[in-house]
């Protein structure tokens, strides 16, 4: 009996305790956010959607490389000399047409790593978080503001420009050929000779100096480069054989030639190297083939980061150009061979073949 | 003349129906609001503007459009009949409730007896629905419901009987009338619950029992959506299901109003002659009933469900002996004072 009373008492006590709690909540305000009608203010650093201010983009490719999931894709076309793309809001000169700047928000993992490397702070997270789509493809945002016609026009112009340069380079190579062949023949036997080539190359290289100074824009400068490039090709082979060994890294290739030749060349060469380390790599490619490759190289120079990739990839980028010129295609392959072959087999063999064919 | 009187009778009978329908629509909305507020939510907010007041109307529209499905092996006749019997039972009981000093459906001298008898039909309809559905969950729910309603009818009747002993009449109008006036302790209303300490115990037993009768938490075993998928209602859809729902809410209101009549003075104003009169009477009567309904909802969102054995233990081992004891004590109290 006592037990029952005790139990009954505790029953009612606990029931009223519980009802007290629920009635307190009954009168306390709801925590509901009436979502479509009200929205919470997101913190300023919220990561919800990427946005690109394309007017400020200099196509430096930094964000592409920073992205861990490869959700950003950028295509560029180098602007021809007669076009001024203007400056970014922080004063950087724009040199590339951004023909494609796609961000796949379906892939994006909101790590925000792409926004920090951006030199012009043109890619950043915005507050918009309501962008669900029925089709996954709709989550690919195109930030490039160029119309297809414009892109076509720009690429055509760039190709024509490149073609022009190649032709110029070819004419120059023709004039210089005799010397080259002589050098090459000599080079195959005596590598020291390359110096002679380099001299001619180096002299023409002065054009390269403009590159270091203002960049790829100086087309006139580029042409000279192409010329020496052709000359240097033979030189490259020698490098692989003894020159590379004697001097460290790929850079030595250009250096040896420079050394043998006047100091002025030396300066230009190091300068080129200093700008991007990649140049040295691209240069060999340039050497293998006349003008066309050199052009691509300068373009690569404007984007520092691109060059390392471009070494093998550089060919792919220029790849569009090579298509236009059949010779160029053959050349890229030759480059690859030279690179891979450089260490194993003397690149000179290939190089010698070319000169031979030219001969 | 005869047709006129029949029309009048129908109109008269429609008044409780309208009250039930309006109440049910807003009670369902209100229950969702109460649930929302207690859980720090808002409940329905979008239909009809202010706090989603038209939510139940939208639900009703949806239910009307729903397909009327009858299971292949169901007993079609009983299956169709069950919701109507359930609603009819709830509705018929409203006939003896004095809504106001000047309105009562049928001024029966055996009002309470009629009410308790007719609401017993509820368990019949529940068993009918559960059996006819040919579904084990439905049958489970129906059997639980039968056991529960038969058991809890005993303490309900005993606590009601305690009130009748004090009031001396089975006529609910008479019971209400004898509670008018404010003489208790000089200012309190003459409500029965304030006149006799044992009637407070009787009210507690009565309230627990009507929770079980109306299948409300913590005694909602016949429906227990979490274990029996709504019990006897599992196979019902559309308007048939809506009838069950309507009957359930009507039953809730009916039992709450009965409690208001028996213990809280029915349509009597708590302030004596102030705010008294037929219209005010209706207001007070409904207010008292709805307050009890609110307490039912409040309890629903507070307590968990009883187990079947606990349910039976509570009824047979505690409530029934207690109600009998209480009945004897009240009778003694009435003899002495």
Mutate to test the interface with B, among A6, A17, A26, A37 (most CBs of B within 10 A): A26
Sequence-distant (6+) residues with CB within 8 A of B189 are B179, B181, B182, B265, B268, B269, B270, B272
Shared domain check, A353 and A204: yes
Phi and psi based region of residue B212 (left: phi greater than 0; alpha: psi -120 to 50; beta: remaining): alpha
In which domain, by residue range, is A108 found?
49-146
Residue B209 Cα distances to A263, B158, B216, B217, B256, angstroms: 109, 10, 10, 12, 11
Burial grade of B213 (CB within 10 A; 0-12, 13-18, 19 or more): buried
State how many domains chain A has.
2
Measured between CB atoms, does A3 come within 8 Å of chain B? Answer: no
Which of A168-172, A185-189, A267-271, B177-181 is predicted least confidently? Answer: A267-271
Judge whether A28 is closer than 8 Å to chain B, CB to CB.
yes
Q: Which residues contact B56 (CB under 8 A, 6 or more apart)?
A: B24, B25, B26, B28, B29
pLDDT in tens, A125-183: 888 888 888 988 888 888 888 888 888 888 888 888 888 888 888 887 776 655 544 44
Q: A348 and A303 in one domain?
A: yes
- Separation CA B333–CA B198 (nearest Å): 8
Going residue by residue through chain B, which has 337 residues, state the pLDDT in tens, using 9 for 90 and above: 788 888 888 888 888 888 888 998 888 898 888 888 988 888 888 888 788 888 888 888 988 888 888 888 888 888 888 888 888 888 888 888 888 887 787 888 888 899 888 888 888 888 888 888 888 888 888 888 888 888 888 999 999 998 888 888 888 888 888 887 777 676 777 788 888 888 888 999 999 999 988 888 888 877 776 777 777 888 888 888 888 888 888 888 999 999 998 888 888 888 877 777 788 888 888 999 999 999 998 998 888 888 888 888 888 988 899 899 999 998 888 888 7
pLDDT of residue B145: 84
Ramachandran angles phi, psi of B296, nearest 5°: -60, -45
The domain that holds A137 is classified in CATH as: 3.30.70.3270
Same domain (yes/no): A138, A156: no
Which residues of chain B make contact with A27, given a CB cutoff of 8 A? 37
More confident residue, A197 or B174: B174
Cis before B77? omega within 30: no
Q: Which residue has the higher pLDDT, A208 or B151?
A: B151
* Least CB–CB distance from A22: residue in B42, B302, B318: B302
Residue A76 has pLDDT above 70, yes or no: yes
pLDDT of residue B174: 86
> Does any domain span residue A11?
no
Token pair of B281, please? 């009477």
Q: How near does any CA of chain A get to the CA of B301, in Å? A: 7
Residue A188 and residue A243 in one domain: yes
Looking at residue A258, its pLDDT comes to 38
Please give the pLDDT value at position A177.
54
* d(C-alpha A205, C-alpha B126), whole Å: 100
Question: What angle, 0 to 180 degrees and rounded to 10, lies between the N-to-C axes of helices B197-213 and B320-336?
Answer: 150
Same domain, A133 and A198: no
Domain boundary among A121, A146, A171: A146
Residues A83-129: tens digit of each pLDDT: 777 788 877 788 888 888 888 888 889 888 888 888 888 888 888 88
The predicted pLDDT at position A243 comes to 37
β-partners of residue A123 are A52
Question: Do B233 and B244 contact (CB within 8 A), yes or no?
Answer: yes
Question: What is the rounded distance in angstroms from the CA atom of residue A82 to the CA atom of residue A79?
Answer: 8
- How many inter-chain contacts (A to B, CB under 8 Å) are there? 41
Element (H, E) at A267: helix A263-274
Distance to chain A for B186, nearest Cα, Å: 30
pLDDT at residue A339 in the model: 41
The answer for B297, left when phi > 0, alpha when psi is -120 to 50, beta otherwise, is alpha
Write the burial class of residue B216 (CB in 10 Å: 0-12 exposed, 13-18 middle, 19+ buried).
buried
- Domain end position, chosen among A114, A146, A178: A146
| Cβ within 8 Å, pair B302-A15 | yes
**Interchain pair A15, B37: CB under 8 A:** no
- A32 in a structural domain: no
With beta carbons under 8 A apart, name residues in chain B contacting A18.
Answer: 302-303
Q: What is the pLDDT of residues A330-355, one digit of tens each?
A: 444 344 443 443 344 444 444 444 44
Residue A232 belongs to a domain: yes
Q: How far apart are CA A130 and CA A35, in angstroms?
A: 12
Test A30 with B40 for CB contact under 8 angstroms: yes
Q: What is the pLDDT of residue A265?
A: 39
Residue A39 lies in a domain: no
CA pair distance B155, A191, nearest whole angstrom: 116
Tell whether A289 and A346 lie within a shared domain.
Answer: yes
Residue A176: in which H helix or E strand, if any? Answer: helix A148-189
Cα–Cα dist A20/B178, whole Å:
34
Indicate whether A186 and A142 sit together in one domain. no
Residue from the list A8, A22, A29 with its beta carbon closest to the beta carbon of B301: A22
Above 80 in pLDDT, residue A357? no
B318 and A27 in contact by Cβ < 8 A?
Answer: no
pLDDT reported for residue B149:
85
Predicted confidence at residue B67, as pLDDT, reads 85
A128 and A163 in a common domain: no
What pLDDT score does A355 carry? 43
User: Taking an 8 Å Cβ-Cβ cutoff, which residues of chain B contact chain A?
Assistant: 34, 36-42, 45, 298-299, 301-303, 318
Last-in-domain residue among A116, A146, A176: A146
Asked whether residue A270 falls in the same domain as residue A222, the answer is yes
The answer, for A1 touching chain B at a CB cutoff of 8 Å, is no
Cross-chain CB nearest to A30 (options B34, B37, B302): B37
**d(Cα A50, Cα A48) in Å, to the nearest integer?**
7
Nearest CA in chain B to A22: B38
Which pLDDT score is estimated for A112?
Answer: 87
Are both A139 and A157 inside the same structural domain?
no
* Tens-place pLDDT, residues A9-46: 888 899 899 999 999 888 888 888 888 888 888 888 88
Asked if A26's CB is within 8 angstroms of B34's CB, the reply is yes
A30 vs B36, B299, B303: nearest CB: B36
Place of tokens 């009436």: A34
Is A35 within the bounds of a domain? Answer: no
Q: Does A4 touch chain B (CB under 8 A)?
A: yes
Q: Does a structural domain hold residue A292?
A: yes
**pLDDT at residue B194, rounded to an integer:** 81
Smallest CA–CA distance, residue B161 to chain A, in Å, is 23
Q: A266 and A210 in one domain?
A: yes
pLDDT attached to residue B207: 92
Q: Is the C-alpha dihedral spanning B313, B319, B320, B322 positive or negative?
A: positive
pLDDT tens, position by position, A227-262: 343 344 443 444 333 333 333 433 434 333 333 344
**Residues of B with Cβ-Cβ distance to A8 under 8 angstroms:** 318
- Are A141 and A235 members of one domain? no
Q: Is A18 a domain residue?
A: no
Mutate to test the interface with B, among A30, A35, A36 (most CBs of B within 10 A): A30
SS (H, E, C) chain B: CHHHHHHHHHHHHHHHHHHHHHHHHHHHHHHHHHHHHHCCCCCCCCCCCHHHCCHHHHHHHHHHHCCCCCCCCCCHHHHHHHHHHHHHHHHHHHHHCEEECCEECCCCCCHHHHHHHHHCHHHHHHHHHHHHCCCHHHHHHHHHHHHHHHHHHHHHHHHHHHHHHHHCCCCHHHHHHCCCCCCECCCECCCHHHHCHHHHHHHHHHHHHHHHHCCCCCCCCCCCHHHHCCHHHCCCCHHHHHHHHHHHHHHHHHHHHHHHHHHCCCCCCCCCCCCCCHHHHHHHHHHHHHHHHHHHHHHHCCCCCCCHHHHHHHHHHHHHHHHHHHHHHHHHHHHHC
Q: Provide, as residue numbers in chain A, all residues whose Cβ is less than 8 Å from the Cβ of B299.
A: 15, 19
């Amino acid at each position: 009996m006592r037990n029952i009373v005790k139990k009954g008492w505790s029953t009612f006590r606990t029931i009223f305790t519980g009802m007290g709690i629920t009635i307190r909540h009954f009168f306390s305000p709801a925590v509901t956010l009436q979502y479509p009608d009200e929205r919470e203010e997101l913190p300023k650093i919220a990561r919800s959607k990427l946005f690109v201010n394309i007017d400020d983009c200099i196509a430096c490719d930094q964000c592409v490389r920073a992205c861990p999931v490869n959700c950003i894709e950028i295509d560029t076309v180098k602007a021809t000399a007669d076009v001024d793309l203007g400056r970014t809001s922080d004063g950087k000169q724009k040199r590339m047409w951004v023909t494609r700047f796609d961000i796949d928000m379906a892939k994006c993992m909101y790590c925000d790593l792409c926004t920090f490397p951006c030199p012009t702070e043109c890619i950043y997270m915005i507050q918009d978080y309501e962008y669900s789509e029925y089709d996954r493809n709709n989550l690919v945002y195109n930030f490039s503001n160029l119309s297809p016609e414009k892109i076509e026009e720009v690429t055509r112009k760039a190709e024509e420009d490149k073609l022009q340069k190649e032709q110029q380079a070819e004419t120059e190579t023709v004039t210089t050929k005799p010397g080259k062949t002589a050098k090459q023949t000599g080079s195959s036997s005596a590598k020291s000779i390359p110096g002679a080539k380099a001299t001619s190359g180096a002299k023409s290289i002065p054009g390269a100096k403009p590159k270091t100074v203002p960049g790829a824009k100086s087309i006139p400068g580029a042409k000279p480069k192409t010329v020496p490039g052709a000359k240097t090709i033979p030189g490259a082979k020698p490098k692989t054989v003894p020159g590379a060994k004697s001097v460290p890294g790929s850079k030595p290739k250009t250096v040896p030639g420079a050394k043998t030749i006047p100091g002025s060349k030396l300066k230009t060469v190091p300068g080129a190297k200093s700008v991007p380390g990649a140049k040295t790599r691209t240069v060999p490619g340039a050497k293998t083939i006349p003008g066309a490759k050199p052009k691509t190289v300068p373009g690569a120079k404007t984007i520092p980061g691109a060059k390392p990739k471009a070494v093998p990839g550089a060919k792919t980028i220029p790849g569009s150009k090579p298509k236009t010129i059949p010779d160029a295609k053959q050349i890229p392959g030759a480059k690859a061979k030279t690179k891979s072959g450089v260490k194993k087999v003397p690149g000179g063999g290939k190089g010698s073949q070319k000169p031979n064919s030219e001969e | 003349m005869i047709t006129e009187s029949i029309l009048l009778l129908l109109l008269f009978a429609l008044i409780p129906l309208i009250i039930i329908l309006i109440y049910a629509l807003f009670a369902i909305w209100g229950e969702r609001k109460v649930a929302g507020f207690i859980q720090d939510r808002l409940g329905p907010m979008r239909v009809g503007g202010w706090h989603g007041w038209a939510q139940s109307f939208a639900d009703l529209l949806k239910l009307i459009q729903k397909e009327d499905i009858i299971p292949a092996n169901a007993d079609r006749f009983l299956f169709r009949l069950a919701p109507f019997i359930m609603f009819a039972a709830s509705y018929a009981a409203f006939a003896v409730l004095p809504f106001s000093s000047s309105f009562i459906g049928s001024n029966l001298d055996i009002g309470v007896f009629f009410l308790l008898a007719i609401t017993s039909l509820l368990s019949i309809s529940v068993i009918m629905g559960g059996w006819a559905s040919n579904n084990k969950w439905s049958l489970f729910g129906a059997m639980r419901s039968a056991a529960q309603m038969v058991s809890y009818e005993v303490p309900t009747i005993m606590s009601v009987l305690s009130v009748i002993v004090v009031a001396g009449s089975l006529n609910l109008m008479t019971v209400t009338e004898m509670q008018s006036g404010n003489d208790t302790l000089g200012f309190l209303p003459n409500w029965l619950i304030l006149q006799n300490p044992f009637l407070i115990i009787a009210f507690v037993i009565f309230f627990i029992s009507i929770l079980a009768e109306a299948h409300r938490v913590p005694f909602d075993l016949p429906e227990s959506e979490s274990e029996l998928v709504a019990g006897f209602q599992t196979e019902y859809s559309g308007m048939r299901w809506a009838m069950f729902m309507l009957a359930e809410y009507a039953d809730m209101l009916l039992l709450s109003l009965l409690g208001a009549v028996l213990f809280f003075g029915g349509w009597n104003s708590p302030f004596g002659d102030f705010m008294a009169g037929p219209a005010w009477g209706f207001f007070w009567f409904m207010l008292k009933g709805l307050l009890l309904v609110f307490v039912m909802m409040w309890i629903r969102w507070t307590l968990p469900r009883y187990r079947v054995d606990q349910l039976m233990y509570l009824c047979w081992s505690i409530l029934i002996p207690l109600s009998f004891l209480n009945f004897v004590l009240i009778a003694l109290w009435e003899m002495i004072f």
